[in-house]
Amino acid sequence: MVKEILPGIFQMQVPLPKSPLKATNSYVILDHSRPLVIDTAFNRPECHETFLLLLKEIGLTPEAVDFFITHLHADHLGLAVALARDGTTIYFNEPDLPLARPAKSYWERMGRIYEQHGLPLQDSLEAITRHPGRIYGPQMDFPYTIVRDGDVLHRGPYSLRCVQTPGHTPGHMCLLVEGHDVLFCGDHMLGDITPNITMWVEMADPLGRYLESLDKVMRLRLRRVLTGHRSAIEDSEGRIRELKAHHEHRLQEVIAALQDGEKDAATITPLITWDLRYDFWEDVHPVQKLFATGETIAHIQHLEATGIVQSTLRDGRILHNLAED
């Protein structure tokens, strides 16, 4: 599906097979020299084929375009390298760069970290084996062109200012259409689902950084937010308030789970409300269980950063309890 959302700016919806996200919203800004594509999709044949067809509807081919990738997740970055040709520029943020194509050792390390947090190693390794970031990410390295907060790109009649919004990933980067109060926001904000905020070895207190990034976007006083999935956001300030309330509710659930004593993150996670269909926690898909546990850890880390929770490493496990007054 292709539709024009501003003069010379098109949205392409690229289906994501078997993903609850359904599709990635990719955007194309026309330019007489090098049109700019914002975000792609999974690096898998179905996405590749559809992407080419959608580009063709706009009258473009991969040879003709450059790419701006908001963040490292495979449903945004995965296909960009496969589409790149000689002379292609892929703009990317620096903090996410080490994780654009992580080595096998990185995934093994993450499995051990989740084990410390109480998720059995067999479960975490199974989830990592099936993780879309591992399966559908770039299959080769690429000389990305680094962009930083405040950098400005020019395409067609538009000036596009980079707005760094860490939280969803360490270096997540949005693009502000200057003079139009419109933001291409990747997964920083979504209209009808909540972006996953997980723990990152590379970033302390990711939830705290995310909440700061929401405040940063609030100050932009946007007219419209063009999201990486599903519908656009017409009331950005209202949506930011909703996202903050969601995370405050989840923080309170973590606090409630610790009222009766010390627990690890994997024990706390089933005690939190999730938008998942299951009768028993054991029935949850391993990848979803990994994502949920990662989000729990991020909330615990924020409570620790604000002095509400304290954590202890004991016998290879990371345990948490409420800090004493």
Output the domain CATH number for residue 291.
Answer: 1.10.10
Same domain, 110 and 23: no
Same domain, 53 and 164: yes
Residue-wise pLDDT for 123-176, tens only, equals: 888 898 989 889 999 999 999 999 999 999 999 999 999 999 999 999 999 999
Count the Cβ atoms, other than its own, within 10 Å of residue 31: 17
Q: What is the DSSP string of 163-229?
A: EE-TTSSTT-EEEEETTTTEEEEETS--SSSPPP---BTTBS-HHHHHHHHHHHHHTT--SEEEESS
Same domain, 88 and 117: no
CA dist 317 → 250, 263, 267, 282, 312 (Å)? 23, 10, 12, 21, 8
Write down the pLDDT at residue 305: 98
The mean pLDDT of 115-130, rounded to a whole number, is 90
Residue-wise pLDDT for 197-253, tens only, equals: 999 998 999 999 999 999 999 999 999 999 999 999 999 999 999 999 999 999 999
Residue-wise pLDDT for 99-109, tens only, equals: 999 998 999 99
Domain contains 46? yes
Domain contains 25? yes
Same domain, 45 and 174: yes
Residue-wise pLDDT for 52-68, tens only, equals: 999 999 999 999 999 99
Domain contains 22? yes
Residue-wise pLDDT for 301-324, tens only, equals: 999 999 999 999 999 999 999 998
Domain contains 243? no
Q: What percent of the chain has pLDDT over 70?
A: 100
Write down the pLDDT at residue 282: 85
**Which residues form the domain of 152?**
1-101+137-234
Same domain, 170 and 293: no
Same domain, 128 and 62: no
**pTM exceeds 0.85 for this model:** yes
DSSP state of 283: G
Domain contains 242? no
Same domain, 123 and 145: no
Same domain, 120 and 145: no
Same domain, 189 and 263: no
Tell me which of 181, 199, 234 is where a domain ends: 234
Could you give the number of structural domains in the chain? 2
Same domain, 148 and 89: yes
Same domain, 227 and 310: no
The mean pLDDT of 172-197, rounded to a whole number, is 97
